[in-house]
A and B are shown apart, each in its own frame.
Chain A
Amino acid sequence: MPLVFLKTPNIKFMKYKYAALAVTGAIVLAGVLNVTVGKGLKLGVDFGGGTLIRVMFKTPAAVSDIRQTMRDVGLGNSTIQATGKAGHEFQIRTMQVIKGIDPQKEVEAHEQLANRVIEALKGDDGQAEIQRGLKDLNTIDTRELTSLLSTAYPSEAAQLAEKIVGQRGAPAKGIFTDYAELSEAGIQPEVITFLKDKTFLGKLTVISKETVGPQAGADLRRKATLATIWALIGMLVYIAFRFKLAYGVAAIFTLTQDVLITLSIYSFTNREINLPIIAAVLTIVGFSINDTIVIFDRVRENTKILRKESLENIMNVSLNQCLGRTIITSGTVFITLLSLYIFGGEVINDFAFCMLIGAIEGVYSTVALSCPVVLFWQNIFKTKTAFRK
């Protein structure tokens, strides 16, 4: 006996079509209101422009300390977020509004601002050491380290430098807290002694620094919007061609709801919209359209078999027949996304969160919304939505 969750059930999905529409309407309205007059969408640096800096400290620091430092240099309105390695890693987005007559100068102003932030966080750490001619082993690049090492170890300098910088950039690292960590990478004790003599361990390192100017931001925004709109049109045309126009419209309607709801969840949870998030939204759209087409396909097939039934009944039968598959597929997708969310690391985390919410919502939109829209379209335009042949 095969293992099954549900024998083909007989749920009257279509009975709830008005309820479904009302729920959707309410959610979409809440989302639209929130995005337009409410909290609004928080554009990340990709689309909104500005600077995003990620720094890593040698010793743990508190968000409040960093905020105080920012306030001291007049950048108190920057957003500071702890990420990654607890207490060590922070993400700082400067919120200073820089409006110049010349948009090209804005990027440079943002870059200077970023440097100011880094200088402020560093404080006078390492100044004395630099005065004495020492180099910061936590920020030195391979080239410079090679030339430093070549004074004592000319033949293996390049190799050593690469190894040391590699060790510094290894996963879950980013900064040396102690010279002892060098021996873990197999650096000989005499080299470590030499480095102790010529270098010091600075208190922080910049993991990433991203500055997007207004022109570039506008271009990214325009291209992302354009790409999404064309993708939607492409789908509409194909579905209208393979099924009927009403089905294409219903699919796009469902997808629009998916996109709107995901965006408003972003708005509610104060997350920033960045380029990778667009990919996440598109993935949700992908899963949702997949679900929708599977159901439409069944409707298409059943209209040929159950000729005497009304379209509404056919849709009900089809939804029920597909339910097992919908649950299993969504379940596997859900498992995948959940594992990405839990184990995926800080960069992927946001991205996975978006998809997780979207995956659940996508199932709802498919089951509850796609078929009723076809019916409404038929009722409004009095078109024949059933398939001939």
Chain B
Amino acid sequence: MKKGLRWKIILTLVVLAGCLVISYPVKEKIKLGLDLRGGIHLRMQVITEDAITMETDQEILRLQELFKKNSITFTSMIKDTPGKFAIQGTIPDQERKIKDVLDQYLRDWDYIFAGTSASVSLKPLAVQYLKDQAVDQSVETIRNRVDAFGVAEPIIQRQGKEWIIVELPGVDNPDRVQNIIKQAAVLEWKLVKAGPAPDEETLLKDYGGKVPDDMDALKGDPKRRAEGWYLVSKVATVTGQDLRMVRRSVDEWNNPAVAFSLKPDGAKRFEVATGENVGKLLAIILDGRIQSAPVINTRISGDGSIEGHFTVEEAEDLVLLLKSGALPAGIKTLENRTIGPSLGADSVRAGLLAFMIAVLSVMTFMIIYYKFSGVNAVIALILNVIILIGALAYFRATLTLPGIAGIILGVGMAVDANVLIFERIREESALGKSIMNSISLGFSRAFSAIFDSNLTTVISAIFLFQFGTGPIRGYAVTLIISLAANMFTAVFVSHWIFNVTVTKKTKKLSI
């Protein structure tokens, strides 16, 4: 045997062994896509405007405090649009002083003075930064929630400016998971100024039918059996950010509840507020809905519990949400796909069966039509599939339905490469060339067609991968791998098999 030939065989065996090792066990190494495995695919939009609104509200409150501290006169601060507010009723004499405060504390804001008022707006760069932050934080928060809920191999990634893709394979309770993902989970404790009242009108009777500036009118959450309307202070005593620990507990009637304790700073504020307001109500508010409004019986230090006729699951989910923190902005669903496991399982089983039948019949045909050379092609084909599986395992690729289409095209082109070569060998042989010569010419003359057609397809697949979405990318990946393997098996391996089996003494080529 020639030395070059020996190395070719060794190289092939190394590749074969490598692929087998990498892909073992196949079931664990090759992940199935959602369409084949079942699960949830969500595309969501972060309402980034919310983050700007929140920032504006916070800065207005802060600035009001600062103005009071620096004894700056003003009548009101009104939010125009998210990221823009107006200070009204200022004294022109104090303009210098106001500018100093703004320059010192509101560095991300631009301002214009006009007589007794000023317009303050967030700098465009800061707006961009805040929006960006909101999306990144949302991704982080959702990841925490999904991890806490316990989903294996979740994909949570940002897409473009304000979209988030969430893929949760194998999840069988879509509604619950979605609620967990989408809930803002902003928890606040606020002092109740009036209420409960049966409706908004009754509630506001003592206030001239208008909600005072420093208060909010909120409704009880019927799910928590907190009926009626409440008027609560706009400023929260403590919020979810002050929580140190939350866990599921039970109330005095053994109903599920959520126990919490506060961080030292929040606990101090909580103690002061409850101490000053004994006998009044303290509302616990989740996402703008009052969960419960218990009476403050005594000064409370940093521990307490949230009660409200929870089911075990609701209490568990609330603990999970509070632990992973609130979303910085609202979230809307753009696309929601829930695929049950049985649908995918059926596809996999049927697809695999069809693929097996197809491959077997093609192999049978090749052996009948090309006899011994057909066996050669079949070996190349099997090797091709093994390399494909090995590469998929190595790249941790997910196999999807379109991915199977990519494999079909790849295998089809692998068979075609062999057909091209064999037909060419027959042609050369029919022209009266020797067996060895025909084989050599067959391979070299068919090569340019195989190379060009494979490369053209690879080029198109690269573009599909670059510009396509999930399923189309899955197709491109399997196709590229398959064609790369094809160049190796159909051209390289097949050739040395001929070289090993056909010698100068061979009288007739079985083709």
**Would you call A226 and B467 a contact (CB within 8 A)?**
yes
Q: How far is the CA of A232 from the CA of B365 in the complex (A)?
A: 33
**Would you call B351 and A223 a contact (CB within 8 A)?**
no
Task: State whether the Cβ of A84 lies closer than 8 Å to any Cβ in chain B.
Answer: yes
* Closest A residue by C-beta to B362: A332
**Would you call A207 and B340 a contact (CB within 8 A)?**
yes
* Closest B residue by C-beta to A83: B343
Chain B positions 415-430 with a Cβ under 8 Å from a chain A Cβ? 415-416, 419-420, 423, 426-427
Kindly count the residue-residue contacts between A and B in the assembled complex, taking CB atoms under 8 Å apart.
281
Task: State whether the Cβ of B333 lies closer than 8 Å to any Cβ in chain A.
Answer: yes
**Would you call A231 and B463 a contact (CB within 8 A)?**
yes
User: With A325-B420, A346-B346 as given contacts, are A283 and B469 in contact (CB-CB < 8 Å)?
Assistant: no
Partner of B333, one of A108, A172, A227: A108
- Chain B residues near A340: list those with CB within 8 A: 351, 354-355, 358, 408
Partner of B335, one of A216, A296, A328: A216
Task: State whether the Cβ of B334 lies closer than 8 Å to any Cβ in chain A.
Answer: yes
* Closest B residue by C-beta to A329: B416
* Closest B residue by C-beta to A277: B402
Partner of A290, one of B416, B462, B463, B464: B416
Task: State whether the Cβ of A303 lies closer than 8 Å to any Cβ in chain B.
Answer: no
**Would you call B339 and A208 a contact (CB within 8 A)?**
yes
**Would you call B415 and A207 a contact (CB within 8 A)?**
no
**Would you call A345 and B349 a contact (CB within 8 A)?**
yes
Task: State whether the Cβ of B130 lies closer than 8 Å to any Cβ in chain A.
Answer: no
**Would you call B468 and A223 a contact (CB within 8 A)?**
yes
User: With A144-B173, A347-B401 as given contacts, are A211 and B337 in contact (CB-CB < 8 Å)?
Assistant: yes
Task: State whether the Cβ of B452 lies closer than 8 Å to any Cβ in chain A.
Answer: yes
User: With A223-B469, A294-B420, A347-B401 as given contacts, are A169 and B334 in contact (CB-CB < 8 Å)?
Assistant: no
A291 to chain B, nearest CB (A): 8
Task: State whether the Cβ of B472 lies closer than 8 Å to any Cβ in chain A.
Answer: yes
**Would you call A208 and B449 a contact (CB within 8 A)?**
no
Task: State whether the Cβ of A54 lies closer than 8 Å to any Cβ in chain B.
Answer: yes
**Would you call A169 and B448 a contact (CB within 8 A)?**
no
User: With A231-B464, A348-B350 as given contacts, are A298 and B449 in contact (CB-CB < 8 Å)?
Assistant: yes
Chain B positions 461-496 with a Cβ under 8 Å from a chain A Cβ? 461-464, 466-472, 474-475, 479
Number of interface residues of A (CB under 8 A): 94
**Would you call B337 and A171 a contact (CB within 8 A)?**
no
Per-residue contact bits, chain A 186-225, to B (CB 8 Å; 1 contact, 0 not): 0000000000000000000111111111011101100110
B interface bracket (residues with beta carbon within 8 Å of A): 35 or more
Per-residue contact bits, chain B 417-446, to A (CB 8 Å; 1 contact, 0 not): 001100100110000000000000000010
- Chain B residues near A325: list those with CB within 8 A: 416, 419-420, 423
Q: How far is the CA of A321 from the CA of B405 in the complex (A)?
A: 29
A348 to chain B, nearest CB (A): 5
**Would you call A213 and B333 a contact (CB within 8 A)?**
yes
User: With A235-B459, A355-B405 as given contacts, are A297 and B43 in contact (CB-CB < 8 Å)?
Assistant: no
Per-residue contact bits, chain B 338-367, to A (CB 8 Å; 1 contact, 0 not): 111111011111110111011101100110
**Would you call A287 and B412 a contact (CB within 8 A)?**
yes
- Chain B residues near A207: list those with CB within 8 A: 339-340, 342-343
Task: State whether the Cβ of B411 lies closer than 8 Å to any Cβ in chain A.
Answer: yes
- Chain B residues near A278: list those with CB within 8 A: 402, 471-472
* Closest B residue by C-beta to A242: B452
Chosen A-B contacts, 25 in total, with CB atoms closer than 8 Å, are: A54-B343, A84-B346, A142-B172, A142-B173, A171-B345, A206-B338, A207-B342, A211-B333, A215-B45, A224-B469, A230-B463, A231-B460, A232-B460, A276-B35, A279-B405, A279-B475, A282-B472, A286-B457, A298-B449, A336-B362, A336-B408, A343-B353, A345-B354, A346-B346, A355-B408
Given A227-B472, A276-B471, A279-B471, 6 further pairs, Cβ under 8 A = A169-B345, A171-B342, A171-B348, A279-B405, A333-B415, A343-B357
